[in-house]
Chains A and B, each alone.
Chain A
Amino acid sequence: MDDLSRFKQTYFDESAELLAVAEAGLLRLAPGDIDMDEVNAIFRAVHSIKGGGGAFGFNDLVAFAHEFETVMDGVRNAEIPVSTELVDTLIRANDVLARLLAHAADETEAPAGTTDDTVAALRRFLDRSGEPADEAPPAAIQAAAGFYPDDEDDEAGIFGDALAAIQAARDDQPARAAGPVPEGKVRWTIVFRPKAELLLSGNEPTYMLRALRRLGEAEVICHLDRLPPLRDLDAELLHLSWTVTLLADPQVNRAQIDDVFEFVADDCDIRISAEAPPPAIIVPALIAPVEPVTPAPAVNLPEPVASAAAPATPAATTSGAAKPGDGARRTNGGTDHAGPATHTIRVDLDKIDRLVNMVGEMVITQAMIAEHLRDLPPGQFQELLEGLEGLAQHTRELRESVMSIRAQPVSSVFSRMPRLVRECAAVTGKEVMLVTTGETTEVDKTVVENLVDPLTHMIRNSIDHGLEGPEERERVGKPRAGTVHLSAAHRSGRIVIEVTDDGRGINRAKVLSKAIEKGLVQPGASLSDEEIDHLIFLPGFSTADQVSNLSGRGVGMDVVRRNISSLGGRIGVYSTPGEGSRFVLSLPLTLAVLDGMVISVGEERFVLPLTNIVESLRPKPADLHGLVNKCDVMMARGEYVRLVHLHRLFGIPKAIDDATKGLVVLVETEDGSRLGLVVDEVLGQQQVVIKSLESNFRRLDGVAAATILGDGRVALILDVAGLREMSRHGSGTGAGNGNASGSTPPSPSLPAPADKSDQRQRQTV
């Protein structure tokens, strides 16, 4: 039983991956567009899940997987034609399989009848394909008997195989005690039983085993039991078989072992299993991606929308073919060979978070020591200072390593989107093509997790509001199918995610009149195009002519904005009427530590993210230009830059007002616009640990978070884009904080929030 439970978790993890593979394949499957490799991949995925399930005695699951597999087999052999109805049924079957797996994992029974409808639907396709109606005993009975004739060619069921292999290895060498696997190693057991004809293709086991031995420390046992006597031996037929125990580094993966047998896969029976030492070490995980730490997304998929699953309307039948374009990647590519997680280890997330926290505290401590040493007489304690420099360097590397443990590719989120698009397309009757790029971009796990809801809503929004129906598109000379492009990329220390559609763009007149109607904007207010576009982020805003199924979910773009900003991110929209809209999300890569520049304004200390800083300079009087409305600008590098006096914005007394006496820090926001911040002094560069202001206090405009400086003082981390908005509105209204430096509410260490509700609503995030 020990062996079983050891592999169970791996089975569930692998099954989750396989479900995702199957789902991705099914979503791409469409009548007239059948990629047999894909079909085979789906078949194999289901077959593998069944095979593994059999090993653990998950009979219901196995019985259902068998039904599913049988239909896939029919598709594979072109006995069952691919129709939209078939694809929908198969997707539903995949969902049912996911549910059964979830029950198996929880060790709960699936409610009676869970599979009935789907099994019936699946069988209808079999009947239609001309095969005799299923007269075999019900699958469940077969499952109980544990007998599947088609499993003779078992190509899947890695875990069934693994167990068998372990058993085989034990049978072969009963006296050999399988000792514990040494730390930092993985023990593979490979049972290789060639068919007699293997040599005839020119393959040579000697070299294959030699290749295997190159992967680690191998012990090869040759089994002679099937050798015939001398007089019966056929010279060119092979009767030897082998069990190889390979002690390999964690970097060696299943694919490398599979590779050795690549050419003889059809000519041998090969069973591969892996054993790793108890998960006490973290070292491999520091190097390896940590994807397996979270369950793969497929398991958590929401139940399918009923209307999408039952394509009753003609629109859905024709438009259900949401599929990725050429630029799209197979997000789950390569999982066929993933095998058991050998070069990754599973670590409780709490442990990682403790580590992250500890590293954060260490960064602070290191900064404090540095601060104290600054007071030392110069020229002394040279070695101490050098040592400290080394410590700072190592702290930085440690921080990056720890952060990379938490990093995950955004593909785990992106891979959910094809399904969403399919559903939305079916519901709205629009034809949609989803293109994704940059799925491998990595970002902190928390950020990834929190992207699901905003992205879901943004894509829904793009399809529901942005894209036109196929007929309308045709009328305006666009392709019938609209395109939604989802992309991710790293840009200057942040991750930028864009959702672009080639729809009709934001209808500004409609947005404005709606905003006025709802009292969000004063009638007659003159707003720029950009400002109008951003009105859609106001709470409760909706411009759909009628409440559609999609917008009936009760989430607005304001919630998206709030989600994003709670992650320290911003959202912007760029729209061109008739051509489409582009939503740009910019998020920090990590939520924990930041490279910052500490500046002083009066008695206060602030931290500016280093990524925003262009340079700092002291302007000459001739560089400064006053404008009406107190908005100062400065000539910097041949460009006019708006000056923002932080002390005015935040109401800080005893600060330098004259930029020529203080300093101007030139900063740049993600969208490239520049701003000159007038400060007293620039104190130096420092890594700071981000402490959320929202979870400890509340959100403040112009402030991204707080931190604790080396001397123990609390400082606020400034949000440059937020500052720009504040200053713009401050000067635009002429009555905001801009000229209120003497009368802002007293707030010794926290700035006065600009909490006038109307003003706040008009800010972009």
Chain B
Amino acid sequence: MKKKVMTVDDSRTMRDMVSFTLRGAGYDVVEAADGQQAMSAIATNKVDLVITDLNMPVMDGLTLIRKLRAIPAHRTLPILMLTTEADESKKAEGRAAGATGWIVKPFNPDKLVSVVQKVCG
């Protein structure tokens, strides 16, 4: 059974890169351009992992994480946030909001795959 990963990012390029890399590594990928879209997509898709950017229009990443955590079914759903090296405080904020882990930008495909494997097999 293929694991399904949702990538949430307002940057199309970023979504494409994540999709391409993860599909190549044997995952199914669904895309969402912001937190709002992610919330509605996740209602109809059982996903194994959410990878979300933080700074997004409409609904930002931290809000998305908090909203997902408030839904019992997604209480412990693995959620990775995309952050930049300098954002130690963001990491902490993300952890507090309920993120499972983080991927530091910029990342290479191998790193992305290894982090994804680490949290969802």
Contact = CB atoms under 8 A, between A and B. Distances in A.
The answer to whether any beta carbons of A and B sit under 8 Å apart in the complex is yes
Contacts of B98: 201-202
Contacts of A758: none
B114 A263 contact: no
B100 A206 contact: no
Interface string B30-47: 000000000000000000
A200 B78 CA distance: 10
Given A202-B78, A259-B114, A207 B120 contact: yes
A517 interface: no
Contact of A202 (B79, B102, B114, B117): B79
A694 to B, nearest CB: 48
The bracket for how many chain B residues form the interface is: 10 to 19
A569 B69 CA distance: 65
Residue of B75, B76, B99, B102 ringed by the most chain A CB atoms within 10 A: B76
A211 B118 CA distance: 6
A3 interface: no
B76 A200 contact: yes
A204 interface: yes
Contact of B76 (A199, A211, A260): A199
A208 interface: yes
Nearest to B49: A202
A207 B88 contact: no
Nearest to A210: B121
B83 to A, nearest CB: 12
B101 A263 contact: yes
B119 interface: yes
A731 to B, nearest CB: 58
Nearest to B104: A262
B114 A203 contact: no
A260 B100 contact: no
Given A206-B121, A207-B119, A208-B118, A201 B102 contact: no
B120 to A, nearest CB: 6
A236 B72 CA distance: 13
Nearest to A261: B118
A37 interface: yes
A203 B101 contact: yes
B5 interface: no
A206 B117 CA distance: 10
Contacts of B54: none
Contacts of B121: 204, 206-207, 210
Contact of A211 (B78, B102, B114): B114
Contacts of B8: none
B76 A202 contact: yes
A52 B88 CA distance: 27
Interface string B69-113: 000000111110000000010000001001111100000000000
A208 B100 CA distance: 13
Nearest to B100: A202
Contact of A204 (B88, B102, B120): B120
Contacts of A266: 95
B68 to A, nearest CB: 10
Contacts of B120: 204, 207
B118 A202 contact: no
Nearest to A200: B76
Given A200-B76, A202-B76, A202-B79, A211 B117 contact: yes
Residue of A37, A203, A210 ringed by the most chain B CB atoms within 10 A: A203
Interface on chain A toward B: helix, strand, loop, or mixed SS? helix
A127 to B, nearest CB: 31
A206 B120 CA distance: 9
B81 to A, nearest CB: 11
A78 to B, nearest CB: 15
A238 to B, nearest CB: 12
B30 to A, nearest CB: 18
Interface string A193-234: 000000111111011101100100000000000000000000
Contacts of A211: 114, 117-118
Nearest to A214: B117
Nearest to A203: B100
A95 B61 CA distance: 46
Contacts of A208: 118
Interface string A690-712: 00000000000000000000000
A207 B118 contact: yes
A202 B119 contact: yes
B119 to A, nearest CB: 6
Interface string A255-278: 000011011001000000000000
Nearest to B89: A36
Contact of B77 (A202, A206, A214, A260): A202
Contacts of A200: 75-76
A201 B100 contact: yes
B1 to A, nearest CB: 15
Interface string A61-77: 00000000000000000
Contacts of A236: 76
A262 B118 CA distance: 10
Contacts of A203: 78, 100-101, 119
B119 A204 contact: yes
Nearest to B98: A201
Nearest to A209: B118
A225 B21 CA distance: 41
Nearest to B75: A200
Interface string A326-356: 0000000000000000000000000000000
B100 A263 contact: yes
A201 B76 CA distance: 6
Contacts of A214: 117
B10 to A, nearest CB: 23
Contacts of B119: 202-204, 207, 263
A265 B98 CA distance: 15
A326 B79 CA distance: 34
B88 A37 contact: yes
Contacts of A207: 117-121
A259 B95 CA distance: 17
A706 to B, nearest CB: 49
A262 B101 contact: yes
A211 B98 CA distance: 22
B44 to A, nearest CB: 21
Given A37-B88, A262-B101, A210 B117 contact: yes
A202 B76 CA distance: 4
Nearest to B118: A211
Contacts of B102: 263
Contacts of A210: 117, 121
Nearest to A37: B88
A214 B119 CA distance: 14
A258 to B, nearest CB: 12
A201 B97 CA distance: 10
A744 B119 CA distance: 80
Contacts of B78: 202-204
22 contacts: A37-B88, A201-B76, A201-B99, A202-B78, A202-B79, A202-B100, A202-B119, A203-B78, A203-B100, A204-B78, A204-B119, A204-B121, A207-B117, A207-B118, A207-B119, A210-B117, A211-B114, A211-B118, A259-B118, A260-B118, A262-B118, A263-B101
**Which 9 residue pairs across A and B have the least CB separation, nearest first?**
A263-B101, A202-B100, A202-B78, A207-B121, A211-B118, A202-B76, A201-B100, A203-B100, A211-B117
Given A207-B117, A210-B121, 18 more contacts: A201-B76, A201-B95, A201-B100, A202-B77, A202-B79, A203-B101, A203-B119, A207-B118, A207-B121, A210-B117, A211-B114, A211-B118, A236-B76, A259-B114, A260-B118, A262-B101, A263-B101, A263-B102
Interface of A: 37, 199-204, 206-208, 210-211, 214, 236, 259-260, 262-263, 266
Interface of B: 75-79, 88, 95, 98-102, 114, 117-121
